[in-house]
Amino acid sequence: MTTLVTGATGNTGRQVVAELVRRGESVRALTRDPAAAAGKLPAEAELVAGTHTAPESLDAALKGVTRLHITVTAGLAETGPELVRRAVDAGVQRLTVVWGGWVGPVEEAVAASGAEWTRLEPQEFMSNTLTWTESIRNEGVVREPYDHPSALVHEADIGAVAAVALLDDGHAGRAYNLTGPETLTPRERIAILSRAIGRDITFVPITHEQAVDRLMATGVSRADADYVVGWYAEPTDDATTVVDTVEQVTGRPARTFAQWVDEHAERFR
Ligand SMILES: NC(=O)c1ccc[n+]([C@@H]2O[C@H](COP(=O)([O-])OP(=O)(O)OC[C@H]3O[C@@H](n4cnc5c(N)ncnc54)[C@H](OP(=O)(O)O)[C@@H]3O)[C@@H](O)[C@H]2O)c1
């Protein structure tokens, strides 16, 4: 049984690859740049060149694949439904998808695919904290528009839930809201980070518009930047309510933010 993972070098995709490899599965990791990806993923994973936003070029990558994990990225709303059709035609029987933050054309195509599917609906990723590395390292500050509460989820837990849904029975037709074990605001995250790296870190408020501009400067569209900063301004109930889905699905408690910080502390020093 071989699984193709799209977005395999990303925050969540690499965790899906790692977990499947840990469980002894045959994994194909899709990347636009295999040279850059080399060394970032477990050696047992087979790197395959391509992009999921060009599904017509994925025939070779899909050959012999019965499981597919889709990471929704920019551009996939247009081509994702075609990817799903081709994958099912090629023999994929089970699909998992990490949503783009809402149920759009790709997520709908997965649910209508006729294959077994599971949709992962993580709330805010702990890895978003990595956007603070430079300002903490260089200035000892974090600039955010809001001190919003968020039940952040560890990317490894998203990978673990995806692997269970891909490999074990009983998860077909389910949409899993995924959170971590606690709700934290940026100031509370800063306090945990500060203790871990042994340095004071100051929270510096910025305006809503400055936060939107900062995201757009990284290549994010105006609509997506408005969505993300709007989400911080008025967090949804799902974003602030801890659920135990990770533990229910994997049998292990969700990882804490303190654990995530232990794993990444060097990057903030
Ligand atoms: N951050 C959050 O808090 C949060 C919360 C909920 C949902 N989400 C959503 O979760 C999804 C997964 O996020 P992630 O952080 O795991 O993804 P990611 O790291 O941003 O991207 C995953 C990989 O996809 C490939 N990729 C990126 N843009 C692409 C494009 N335009 N066309 C084709 N391939 C592209 C890249 O791999 P290669 O360069 O190797 O090809 C990249 O490493 C996203 O849709 C995100 O919006 C995020």
Contact in structure between 45 and 17 (CB atoms under 8 Å): yes
Distance 86 CA to ligand 1 centre (A): 21
Which one is the CATH code of 2-122: 1.10.150.110, 3.40.190.80, 3.30.2290.10, 3.40.50.720? 3.40.50.720
Q: What is the mean pLDDT of the chain?
A: 97
pTM: 0.97
**What's the Cα-to-Cα distance from 123 to each of 87, 155, 170, 243, rounded to whole Å?**
27, 11, 23, 11
Contact in structure between 92 and 68 (CB atoms under 8 Å): yes
| DSSP-derived secondary structure letter, 255 | P
Which tens digit of pLDDT belongs to each residue from 196-239? Answer: 999 999 999 999 999 999 999 999 999 999 999 999 999 999 99
123-153+179-241+255-269 is classed in which CATH architecture? 3-Layer(aba) Sandwich (3.40)
Token readout for 261 is 């910080």
The rounded Cα 47 to chain-centroid distance in angstroms is 19
Residue of the CA atom closest to atom 10 of ligand 1: 100
CB contact set of 186 (below 8 Å; sequence gap of 6+): 142, 144, 146, 147, 148, 203
- Confidence band of 77 (pLDDT split at 50, 70, 90): very high
Question: What is d(CA 84, CA 68) in angstroms, rounded to the nearest whole number?
Answer: 9
Count CB-CB contacts under 10 A for residue 215.
Answer: 19
> CATH 3.40.50.720 residue ranges in the chain?
2-122, 123-153+179-241+255-269
- To test the ligand 1 pocket, which listed residue (5, 14, 51, 71) has its Cβ within 8 A of the most ligand atoms? 71
Which tens digit of pLDDT belongs to each residue from 127-167? Answer: 999 999 999 999 999 999 999 999 999 999 999 999 999 99
